[in-house]
Amino acid sequence: MQFIFLACAGIATVLFVLLLFSILGKSPGDDVRERMEQYLIESEKASKTGSYEIPEEALEKDEEEANAEEDESDDWTSELRGKKKKGHEGAKRILANMGTILTPKGMAAKIADQLAKADIPLKANEFVAIQFLAVMIAMMIGTIILKNLVLALILAVAAYFLPLIWVSIVRAKRKQAFNDQILDTLIMIANGLKAGYSFLQALEMVSKESLPPMSKELKRVLKENSLGMNLEDTLMALNSRVESEDWDLVTTVVLIQRQVGGNLAEVLEKIGKTIRERMRIKGDIQTKTAQAKVSGMLVAALPFGLGIMIYVLNPEFMSKLFTFKMNWFRGWFLVIGGLIWEAIGMLIIKKIVDIEV
């Protein structure tokens, strides 16, 4: 009990210190954001009027129009201009300051990259702060409510990995949604090029007509290009964010065409046919491997089903698996070992039926 009390006291002290720092501290990036906000607003107004001397009434009107357009734009533009939502400002400030202490410098860029690929509107330090709070809450539940240190450690490990698993799931769904839109996007770009549009004009047309995530990614490409980045760099950045093999092929073709020339519309149509054929082959493979996938799922679910049935028929016999003790050995060691081998078996089956096209 003394150890549990000391652990709870330590957790409470760490949370109090971090909360105090978060309330009194200044959110990281506020200084830069405040300096850039005025510059970006003035630059935008100057690009419309051609001069920095703007009448006050016109400035107010333009600012209202800019704010209205900004409300319809994506989070990336809003963050760049320094706009904040008042309702979430306090919570984001606390998370940002806590994450600044906890986030290792070497991991911040990697975490931010993963969040960008999943299109999650969080910064690296905010995500780390959420992970830390989840771990602390799990530890407090295990030590105070359940009064079991081993179970508290298990809950803490699960709380640490759950946000990472969530990011991976969101990232996979977004990648699949992007891949599903590539074929229609190529057709629209090719038709735009045939109609006399330039490549950038065709991208702008597609960004207005298509749905997210394709529209959002293409708008970001256009905005980065308008801010001074080369089109090649923006396309490569898009390719690294979506991590799509089909879009990698499109990016490679566009970069080669801009260097050596050629009929880009015709090439994009051929790429579209190639992607369509790959989708057909993938569909055939999924149909032929469906039986193996279902078999793997049934084999993985079989131990859990048998365990539940035995517990219903004879609870005392099944409970010994969790209460058995002999020196250092515990019965629940077998449960953990079984779960590990279950995960290994599922990964092996997934690797066997996962055929690349």
Rounded to the nearest integer, the mean pLDDT of the chain is: 75
What pLDDT, on the 0 to 100 scale, is given for residue 54?
44
User: Which pLDDT band holds residue 166 (cuts at 50, 70, 90)?
Assistant: very high
**Residue written as tokens 């493979």?**
285
Strand, coil or helix: what is 326?
Answer: strand
**8 Å CB contact between 155 and 141:** yes
For residue 62, pLDDT beyond 50: no
Summarize pLDDT for 298-352 with one digit per residue, the tens. Answer: 888 888 888 888 888 888 888 888 788 888 888 888 888 888 888 888 788 777 7
**8 Å CB contact between 349 and 292:** yes
| Among candidate residues 3, 1, 9, the one with its CA nearest the CA of residue 136 | 9
Contacts of 276 (CB under 8 A, 6+ apart): 183
Strand runs labelled E in the chain:
325-326, 329-330
What pLDDT, on the 0 to 100 scale, is given for residue 22?
47
Return d(Cα 194, Cα 331) in angstroms, integer. 70
pTM of the model: 0.65
**8 Å CB contact between 238 and 221:** yes
Which one-letter DSSP state was computed for residue 151?
A: H
Q: Which of 27-36, 129-138, 185-194 has the lowest mean pLDDT?
A: 27-36
Return d(Cα 110, Cα 167) in angstroms, integer. 13
* Cα radius of gyration rounded to whole Å, the chain: 27
Q: Taking CA 85 as the corner, what is the angle to CA 79 and CA 89, rounded to the nearest 5 degrees?
A: 95
